[in-house]
A = this chain, B = another copy of it.
């Protein structure tokens, strides 16, 4: 596990304030449907049946990967993170540009392997790599991916649509991703597109900061609260083992709530859709987990219910800003 990995910034309080101030005064225009603050920006450029999704995401050596990470996995992760954001809108990716900032001395074979990981993932989802740019960053490697996608009109899932009474779902298992999964995860594109097509999802986000942190993004955007059911939260075997072996100071539940970099889907649907959705999911994705982990409630508080009752949840997950 890398120290600091998953943290997108150090995030002194004034940095949060800064981002908030910056995003308030950004210029818009008539084609901008959703700007800063969701998984992707949403644009209406006049395509009859679709909206455009636009996203950038960067990985930095020593922060999101280490100097000894396998290069194919660096490339995979750099693109997969962006693909996961397209998934979280219910969209399909189309084209990426890669900005590669390299120290003046580098190993060309290493860079080729980064691209081979990146290209393999792109081919799997029919994403064109349309070029990009190479520049100098003397002290460390930085890879920024800009990704374009589309989503059918009326099927774009934002963070802001959750309603009190909604059932809250999460795919996969949470926690312990930084032990390895964060470099290998498969973005949930197929699942998200299927969900968006067949059910009326109210809100969705991909888990990058940890369940507790990312659920708060949905709560803030939707102006609602949420109640988690502790026993329902799917905890990864890695997180359980780390806790048992005392390689992590977190309980397995806390790891699942706050480790970050899970890149699973967190979404809400009307409670009446919960059972039909679970049934249909089991038919469609028999090997993939999907759990109902709680509900959306009025207010603005995040609580967790366990054997002792209901208490406020203070654990935030990693700080995050877009």
| A contact residues vs B (CB 8 Å cutoff) | 7-10, 14-15, 17-19, 21-23, 25-29, 31-32, 34-37, 41, 43, 45-48, 50, 52, 54-58, 60, 62-63, 94-95, 97-99, 101-102, 104, 108, 111-112, 115, 119, 122-123, 126-140, 142, 144, 146, 148, 150, 321-322
Cβ–Cβ contact B101 & A27, under 8 A: no
C-alpha spacing A48/B8, complex, angstroms: 40
Cβ–Cβ contact A140 & B139, under 8 A: yes
Identify 5 new A-B residue pairs, CB closer than 8 A, beyond the known A27-B128, A29-B127, A56-B56: A22-B112, A35-B131, A41-B130, A54-B97, A56-B98
Given contacts A119-B27, A140-B137, A142-B137, contact A10 B132 (CB under 8 A): no
Cβ–Cβ contact A144 & B58, under 8 A: yes
C-alpha spacing A7/B134, complex, angstroms: 11
C-alpha spacing A41/B123, complex, angstroms: 18
Shortest Cβ gap from A230 to chain B (Å): 32
Cβ 8 A contact of A95, one of B10, B22, B54, B128: B54
- The chain B residue with its CB closest to the CB of A104 is B10
Cβ 8 A contact of A132, one of B60, B94, B115, B322: B322
Q: Which of A22, A29, A31 has the most CB atoms of chain B within a 10 A radius of its CB? A: A22
C-alpha spacing A58/B122, complex, angstroms: 22
Cβ–Cβ contact B119 & A18, under 8 A: no
Copies per complex of this chain: 2
Given contacts A94-B45, A133-B56, contact A119 B25 (CB under 8 A): yes
Cβ–Cβ contact B129 & A26, under 8 A: yes
C-alpha spacing A98/B26, complex, angstroms: 11
Shortest Cβ gap from A305 to chain B (Å): 34
Cβ 8 A contact of A135, one of B60, B111, B112, B115: B60
Cβ–Cβ contact B112 & A54, under 8 A: no
C-alpha spacing A94/B136, complex, angstroms: 28
- The chain B residue with its CB closest to the CB of A146 is B146
C-alpha spacing A169/B96, complex, angstroms: 33
Cβ–Cβ contact B56 & A99, under 8 A: yes
Given contacts A47-B47, A130-B35, A322-B132, contact A58 B99 (CB under 8 A): yes
Point out the residues of chain B lying under 8 angstroms from A133, CB to CB: 8, 56-58, 322
